[in-house]
């Protein structure tokens, strides 16, 4: 049910009175619900333009990178080996501040972080969301899903769907093969580990053929997972695959 804005504001005020607002990162008292305190905010840099037109790597200035065929400027890695996905964007740089949000979100039980994280993702990926016809979370293998109880990417996808009105599908993309944690592995090793880890669920091909898809994950590291999923989805006839993550590591894709 949609509440009228004044009623929603009133709801927020009542909630604030009942639960003193706490910083999402460290739990310190703050002025408004679902915000960060100043030290946490400083340690959680938002990614804003300019950035690589393909992988979203933040640039220090607008003349960084080289122009590509699409007119946008691209980082050297994307020019050398263009990713299979169209564009990737992320809300935050992965670092001390975003880890304070993302690690409890991933391994703990702080599923309520999905909403504020998705709000920032929608800001960073507005154009990607606008053209998306279907939102797909990067799946977890069922063992990992059992241990964690929820797939953090699916929670983000559901929130992004709610914010944008775009449909999402939780199980079109599947992960039948368990892969070891990618941790400190380099780009080539990651590529080898994730190749073949994903599969399409029954009836998936009919739902993705000819459509522009948005793949959602919590952290974008080398892009190996995004590329493996994009390869599968494009093979199945998707018109394009973009990627939206909560955070990305500062280097490489
Ligand atoms: Zn804080
Ligand atoms: Zn790039």
What proportion of the chain, given as a percentage, has pLDDT over 70?
91
Domain-embedded: residue 231: yes
Cα–Cα dist 59/250, whole Å: 10
Residue 22 located in a structural domain:
no
Q: How far apart are CA 233 and CA 37, in angstroms?
A: 40
Q: What is the mean pLDDT of residues 217-229?
A: 92
- Label residue 6 by pLDDT band (50, 70, 90): low
Walk across the sheet containing 212-220 and list its strands: 88-93, 240-248, 212-220, 134-137
Going by their DSSP bridges, the two strands 212-220 and 199-200 should be labelled as unpaired
pLDDT mean over 185-205: 81
Distance 95 CA to ligand 2 centre (A): 19
Q: What is the pTM of this model?
A: 0.88
Measured between its terminal Cα atoms, the distance across the chain in Å is 40
Calculate how far, in angstroms, residue 30's C-alpha sits from the geometric centre of ligand 2.
Answer: 36
Domain containing residue 244: CATH number: 3.40.50.2020
The SS3 assignment for 174 reads: strand
Q: Which of 89-98, 130-139, 178-187 has the lowest mean pLDDT?
A: 178-187
In the reported structure, the alpha carbon of residue 199 is separated from the centroid of ligand 1 by a whole-number distance in angstroms of 39
- Band of pLDDT at residue 58, cut at 50, 70 and 90: very high
Identify whether 3 is part of a domain: no
**Contact of 142 with 174, CB cutoff 8 Å:** no
Instruction: Indicate if the pLDDT at residue 7 is higher than 50.
Output: yes
pLDDT in tens, 69-97: 888 999 999 999 999 999 999 999 999 99
Tally of domains within the chain:
1
Give me the pLDDT at residue 100, please.
93
Give me the mean pLDDT over the 170-178 stretch.
89
Model confidence pLDDT, tens digit, residues 107-124 = 878 999 999 999 999 999
Contact 40, 26 (CB under 8 A): yes
DSSP reduced 3-state for 94:
coil
Pairwise CA distance, residues 55 & 77, whole Å: 9
CA of 98 to the centre of ligand 1 (A): 11
Cα 194 to middle of ligand 2, angstroms: 20
Task: Summarize the confidence of residues 160-189 as an average pLDDT.
Answer: 85
Q: Give the environment of ion ligand 2: residues with CB less than 5 A.
A: 52, 54-55, 57, 75, 78
* Rounded-to-integer distance, Cα 169 and Cα 136, Å: 6
User: Within a domain: residue 79?
Assistant: yes
Residue 25 within a domain: no
What domain range includes position 205? 32-248
Q: Could you give the angle at which helices 224-235 and 187-194 cross, rounded to 10 degrees?
A: 40
Mean pLDDT of the chain: 89
Nearest ligand by distance to the CA of 65? 2
Q: Is the pLDDT of residue 24 over 70?
A: yes
Closest ligand to C-alpha of residue 50 is 2
Asked if residue 17 belongs to a domain, the reply is no
């Amino acid at each position: 049910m949609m509440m009228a804005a004044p009623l929603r504001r009133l709801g927020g005020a009542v909630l604030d009175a009942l639960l003193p607002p706490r910083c999402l990162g460290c739990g310190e008292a703050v002025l408004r619900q679902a915000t960060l305190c100043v030290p946490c905010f400083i340690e959680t840099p938002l990614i804003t333009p300019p950035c690589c037109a393909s992988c979203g790597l933040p640039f220090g200035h607008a003349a960084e990178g080289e122009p590509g065929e699409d007119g946008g400027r691209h980082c050297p890695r994307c020019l050398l080996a263009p990713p299979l996905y169209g564009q990737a964007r992320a809300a935050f740089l992965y670092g001390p501040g975003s880890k304070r949000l993302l690690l409890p979100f991933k391994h703990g039980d702080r599923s309520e972080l999905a909403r504020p994280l998705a709000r920032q993702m929608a800001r960073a990926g507005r154009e990607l969301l606008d053209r998306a016809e279907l939102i797909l979370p990067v799946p977890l293998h069922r063992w990992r899903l059992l241990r964690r109880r929820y797939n953090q990417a699916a929670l983000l996808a559901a929130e992004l769907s709610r914010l944008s009105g775009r449909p999402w599908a939780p199980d079109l993309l599947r992960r039948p093969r368990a892969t070891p944690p990618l941790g400190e592995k380099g780009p080539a090793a990651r590529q080898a580990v994730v190749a073949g880890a994903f599969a399409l669920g029954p009836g998936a091909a009919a739902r993705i053929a000819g459509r522009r898809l948005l793949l959602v994950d919590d952290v974008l590291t080398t892009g190996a997972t995004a590329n493996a999923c994009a390869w599968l989805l494009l093979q199945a006839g998707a018109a394009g695959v973009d990627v939206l993550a909560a955070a990305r590591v500062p280097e490489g894709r």
